[in-house]
Amino acid sequence: MPPFTKRLENLPSTLWSKITQIEELKGRWISGAKLNPQVLGRLKKSVLVTSTGASTRIEGARLSDEDVEKLMRGLSVQKFADRDKQEAQGYYELLKNVFEFWQAIPFSESTIKHFHKELLKYVEKDKLHRGQYKHSENKVHMIDEAGKSVGVLFDTTPAYLTPKETLELVEATEAAAKDKTIHPLLIIGNFLVEFLLIHPFQDGNGRLSRIMTNLLLLKHGYEYVPYVSHEKLVEDNKADYYLALRRSQKTLRGKAPNLVPWLEFFLSVVHKQSEEAVGLLSSENIERILSPKQMDVWRYLQTAVEVTPAQISQGAGVARPTVNQVLDKLLKLKKIDAKPGTKFDPDLHEAILFDENAEGEHEVIADEMPTGYTLNGRPIRHSMVKVTRK
């Protein structure tokens, strides 16, 4: 039994309904019409900027998304401290690697340490502790507007216990993922709140935890993660984020750990993220889904009354395979219907075979051959069918 099974038992039904909804949206992303590669590339670039801006701002940097974007284009952004720029550069590059290579990156202790090193690669002040667990105690302070401490918020794991606790957490998380009795979203949520309570590094724990969120979600099949910023949703709800963390964290070392406040927050962010991702695939967003060549087919279809794929190909001036791809995508978007009716309808079906021996009053379809399509009720291509009598 994975070590944290107990604390994840008897969760309220509201959490389970969130999980069910997230899974349903994940299914829709996977089986839905795919966005076109140019659009995916653009979205990914913009998420890298947004997530970098949001994640570093949560921890006190002051760069706007526009500043981050300029910085990444190599333009100098004079008005900000070097530290802010160094932090943004590290976050951006690391997240980019996660988006590109998540399949090849193992979830392990050495990945965590390596990520920490990469995250702070450019930050002068963190030079001495990059990639290494804390050597002295680090309390989480509440800070005022001016950045001065106004009190200790919570005690983290002492430095001498940090390697042991972090390794145990990583191993338990891995074991739970393999075991598959606990839902992956609960395993990830549990990892994050524990990681932040241990606070394994002198600095950078918050940012690193959000990079790990991206990696873990991707590795568990939430593949829309690079196209809608998780970090931005956290930033927009920063007060709730901290509150939820504190509420769960103060119970974690006691007799009755309560993960519910944190899981409610975490799942609500993932839920919003999945909704936005699926929203990208909606049929109103047709130009995001079709490539320019495919758009030519779509435009042609709207002017055509009754056509076959060969005619579409000729009329729109695009190759047959592209026509087939478009029809497939339009079908998923429900922009066209595939209608192999049961009653033979010469308007919709093209009978290519008749069952000569059959007797009966009605002509019905015996076998369906390739699918036909209708656009706004008019056939684009007839279903080719074999007709028999009943």
Ligand X SMILES: Nc1ncnc2c1ncn2[C@@H]1O[C@H](COP(=O)(O)OP(=O)(O)O)[C@@H](O)[C@H]1O
Residues that bind ligand X (CB under 6 A): 59, 140, 142, 153, 196, 203-207, 242, 245-246
Partner whose footprint covers residue 245, from Mg ion, ligand X, none (CB < 5 to 8 Å by kind): ligand X
Say if CB 250 and CB 258 are below 8 A apart. Answer: no
**Options 67, 194, 203, 235; binder of Mg ion; rule CB under 5 A:** 203
| Stretch in the footprint of Mg ion (CB under 5 A) among 160-168, 203-211, 244-252, 329-337 | 203-211
Quote the CA–CA distance of 383 and 261 in Å, as a whole number.
54
Partner whose footprint covers residue 207, from ligand X, Mg ion, none (CB < 5 to 8 Å by kind): ligand X
Burial class (CB in 10 A: 0-12, 13-18, 19+), 69: buried
> Cβ 166 to Mg ion, closest distance in Å?
18
Q: Are strands 336-338 and 140-143 parallel, antiparallel or unpaired?
A: unpaired
Quote the CA–CA distance of 64 and 48 in Å, as a whole number.
13
Partner whose footprint covers residue 196, from Mg ion, ligand X, none (CB < 5 to 8 Å by kind): ligand X
Nearer to Mg ion, 193 or 318 (CB): 193
Q: How many CB atoms lie within 10 A of CB 271?
A: 18
Q: Which helix (H) or strand (E) holds 89?
A: helix 82-101
Nearer to ligand X, 131 or 341 (CB): 131
Tracing tokens 């979203």 back to the chain, one arrives at 185
Nearer to Mg ion, 84 or 203 (CB): 203
> Cβ 206 to Mg ion, closest distance in Å?
6
Nearer to Mg ion, 86 or 383 (CB): 86
Which residue of the chain is nearest ligand X when measured via CB? 206
> Cβ 382 to ligand X, closest distance in Å?
60
Which residue of the chain is nearest Mg ion when measured via CB? 203
233-292 binders of Mg ion (CB under 5 A):
none
Partner whose footprint covers residue 80, from ligand X, Mg ion, none (CB < 5 to 8 Å by kind): none
What six digits make up the tokens of 150?
Answer: 């106004």
Query: What Rg, from alpha-carbon coordinates, does the chain have?
Result: 27
Name the phi and psi angles at 142, rounded to 5.
-90, 130
Partner whose footprint covers residue 379, from ligand X, Mg ion, none (CB < 5 to 8 Å by kind): none
Say if CB 72 and CB 49 are below 8 A apart. Answer: yes
What six digits make up the tokens of 386?
Answer: 């074999």
Give the footprint of Mg ion on this chain (CB under 5 A).
59, 203
